[in-house]
Structure 1
């Protein structure tokens, strides 16, 4: 096995963990299964992570960070604020539609963390990261348009995070793309109303 920097090994293990958990579920994602997926030994896992809890935390951060990076790279000023907001929502939504198992995994990680003693803080961190990410995106959109939101940024970020969370779960359960698109349009309208008026 070729030597590689520990940061790269950590990333390799996190990516393997996400694949295993999305495919088999969080409870069945043992460190052995994750190591097998990554093609590394258990000793490499223990060198890179103190515990499975640390790996799950890194997986949550990686998944959320990936979503945010994808959306932020797509945020660009369009003709109207609504088109800018709807475009950003659409970028996220395209990933939901094409990678539903990864999004189901985020809900499973939340439930797992809430039920496993000692892991509860991971669920809180996950949702705090959603709100912080939403705030970053709103700040970027406002900066592009020279806006100051009509409501406090933290509240607007919580509204966005809660709305997207609910829309995603509803889509994963019902699978109704037409309804999801209509709800995304309504969400864009609502956000624009809170950002500019």
Structure 2
């Protein structure tokens, strides 16, 4: 087996853990299965991570990082309304393109809520913070005067619509229906923004 830098090996093990959690749940994602999925010796996994708890902590950091990357990689050049639509569309299309991520995050959040730590809150707080910052910057850049409560509510609406879509996609895995539901979710967002932001014709993305 070719030598692989430790950081790269750790990243492969974390990504393999996400896939195994999606396929088998947290309890079923054993270190042996994760190592096999990453095509690595079990001893290598134990060398990279002192225990399963340490590995799962790295998985939560990875999940948070993925959300940040998805949110910040969208081109958001416009007013608050068009930026919110871009963020929501980007999240929903990302779930479609990464079918392992939805089931993995549902499993992880459910598991984390039964633990003493705050990993689930960390993921959501990080996502909310990133999204809120993007929306706030869009409003300021476009010269819109939007109070903080509305920004908070918009952040919540986008997050809730993306969570609901992800859960529906996980249950039904119907791509044709999911593609239609993307437009439906965007329509719900438009309706909320038209009422709450006074936008009679939200910008289309």
Residue in structure 2 matched with residue 109 of structure 1 by the alignment: 108
Does the 8 Å CA contact 1:151/1:195 hold for their aligned counterparts?
no
SS of 1:25's equivalent in the other structure is helix
**In the comparison of the two structures, how many residue pairs are matched?**
194
Alignment of 1:8-47 (within 5 A): 8-47=8-47
Output the aligned Cα RMSD: 2.8
SS of 2:118's equivalent in the other structure is helix
Does the 8 Å CA contact 1:13/1:45 hold for their aligned counterparts?
yes
| More deviation, 123-132/141-150 | 141-150
Residue in structure 2 matched with residue 169 of structure 1 by the alignment: 167
Distance 1:195 1:29 in 2: 45
Distance 1:83 1:4 in 2: 43
Distance 2:140 2:11 in 1: 32
SS of 1:26's equivalent in the other structure is helix
Distance 1:61 1:23 in 2: 20
Does the 8 Å CA contact 1:150/1:194 hold for their aligned counterparts?
no
Does the 8 Å CA contact 2:80/2:139 hold for their aligned counterparts?
no
Alpha-carbon deviation of 1:109?
A: 0.9
Does the 8 Å CA contact 1:85/1:188 hold for their aligned counterparts?
no
Q: Is 1:84 paired with 2:83?
A: yes
Q: Which has the higher contact order (CA 8 A, sep 6+)?
A: 2
Does the 8 Å CA contact 1:77/1:145 hold for their aligned counterparts?
no
**Cα pair distance change 1:90/1:159, threshold 3 Å:** closer
Aligned residue among 155, 158, 181 for 1:157: 155
| More deviation, 175-184/101-110 | 175-184
Unaligned residue ranges in structure 2 (runs of 5+):
200-205
Alpha-carbon deviation of 1:63?
A: 2.6
Distance 1:155 1:50 in 2: 41
Distance 2:51 2:62 in 1: 17
| More deviation, 105-114/134-143 | 134-143
| More deviation, 33-42/150-159 | 150-159
Q: TM-score, normalised by structure 2?
A: 0.76
